[in-house]
Structure 1
Amino acid sequence: MFIAKNTTTMAYIDANSANVIDKYECPGCGEPVHLKKGNIKIAHYAHKQFGQCHVSTEGESATHLQGKLALFQYFNDRYDEVKLEPWLSEIKQRPDLMVRKGTTWTVIEFQCAPITIESIRERMAGYRQLQLQVIWILGEPYQKKRIQSSTMAKFATLHRKELKIFFWHAQEGIYYKAWWQIDHRKPVNRHKKVDNQVQQLFKIQQAIIQARPQVCAIQKQLYAQNRNVVGIPWICHPAYSLPGGLKIPQWQVTVRIIMLLEHKPITIDAMYQHLFAQEWHEFGCLKLADVQKLWLECFLNDAIKLEKIQFINSRFQLAGTVSWFDNYHDKLKAFQENR
């Protein structure tokens, strides 16, 4: 940590300004801390018995310390005010940084080490009590390997109507990737077509051959209607990437929405109820309902722009009859003819 309390003056002192002959304590747990100040390592404080502190949840590695200082300078050049390790006495938490632009304060949590989703949720609960915006930024250790979807869900933030994960790199500074950019492993613009609908169709065919349980459940339902999974309408393969967060392929949700709309027009609340029943990742920083609402909003907006769905009298309905297909080849041919 960089900030500790002088036990004599009770003032909060940053490690660079601290005197080695004075005594200091942790602002969170009140336990004694050592001032570590030399010519090689960054000046910082360390608990004499770290395990007794419930405020600090990760060891102060050199990467973490250097990153916090770098972020402090980065934000100091861009924001009206920056606080390093401020102590929030109301909730007994100490974020890595807080930045202010105008009257709005944002908490910055810089994460380098592994952390449980329960710990993240606990911190977020405290920040929500103070109605603070929060952004988690992942350090370079998280960038050296492929990030799993479960990890993405821990740290994802809603930013400008996208599900994003923020990163810090010593050379690049702060950058972010939307969930679907990481998921698809190639950067594309939100308003640019994904152009992978044919690939989606091929994956469905593979899933049927492999008899995957989730696909078989949908197939059973469609058989009763004299339909098959491969022949689902092309509207079920969105032309634009949706925000993400699902544990299952998005077509498994979109086809169910289309089938609901074929039955009758439905309200947005009815759609939400249907969406909530699907399989989603566990989120740490976000409320799952907010992720689901964003996903549905993006799907409906795109479908309305493509004139496949209409919103009339407070209900969503199909804009016309959707085409189902008998087999893979007929469906692919229709796609190619309409390009």
Structure 2
Amino acid sequence: MAEAADREDRTEEPTQKRLDDAIRRGDVAKSQEVSTFLALGAMTLALLLAGGWSGRALTLDLRHFLGNAHLVPDGPGAMLAAGRRALLVGLQAAALPVGFLMVAALAAGLLQHRPLWTVEPLKPKFERLSPGAGFKRIFGLQALGRFGKGLLKIAVVGVVAGVALWGERERLEALVTLEAADLVRVMTQVALRLLGLALAIYAVIAIGDYVVARFSWMRRLRMSKQELKDELKEQDGNPEIKAKLRQIRAQRLRRRMMAEVPKATVVVANPTHFAVALRYEAGQAAPVCVAKGVDELALRIRSVAEEHQVPVVENPPLARALHAAVEIDDEIPVEHYKAVAEVIGFVLRLKRRAS
């Protein structure tokens, strides 16, 4: 009852911090069917690339051994040498499939979540020693769901494999009459067909199972309103997060200022240190500051203004005074009306002369 009530309280989607914390603990959305699909694909690729070669090598080695069995000494040394030879051939034939399976196992994890190094899943969890928890894991709803899903997969794959083999029944009946090399070739073809059908089925199963696993993971990590409030309070009190937020706000303000500079009427500046972009249109009570900056930012404002043919008027005292007195999107103070009016009048006269 308590767990059910707790799940009902968790109505909010998990924050990025909660998701990152879960991933660091090794708690990730993972589907076993994706791993199975990639393992099947690896086996199919290995059989396609090396099935013929491996089959021929095994056939030739077996034929040579059986054809010359009477020449093999019956001492223990000779039998040991024959065993080593058979083991070497078997390892050569299995090297490529095993290598592909290892790559598939690694790719299954990388496709579902980013690379992760953690020892959290290896730590002992004493709550798992509880008989009640163990019974629930074995006979609970999730266990029954996995059991039903497994039966459904077996049924679907079995039906498809049966249909495919039924179409090959005449070839399969003739296998007993074939030479060893032809037998390997036919069996390879049949195996590739079955694996291809299984891959097509498992592609759909893997996609569906991963979507369900991802949904279940996100649902399990949902937060209550109180947990969300507590996390926001914790983040607001973190100096690093505050500094990052200030940096983000400064970057956004700078981008917005740079976008407004081409619309300015004039940029008041001193040679290098200060720049204030003002916009004035007929009907406004006073000019408005659309951008301002010092040093590098001031040079950038001047550069953008010159690129868009916005007049730049050098007036060091007025530039310093405006930079200290006015904020972005605010009208200039009354005490600077006269000086700014002279600058804007000068700019307008220049425009009229130019036109």
Q: TM-score range by the shorter chain?
A: under 0.3
Greater CA radius of gyration, 1 or 2? 2
> Which has a greater percent of strand?
1
Q: TM-score, normalised by structure 1?
A: 0.20
> Which has a greater percent of helix?
2
Q: TM-score, normalised by structure 2?
A: 0.20
Larger RCO (alpha carbons 8 Å, 6+ apart): 2
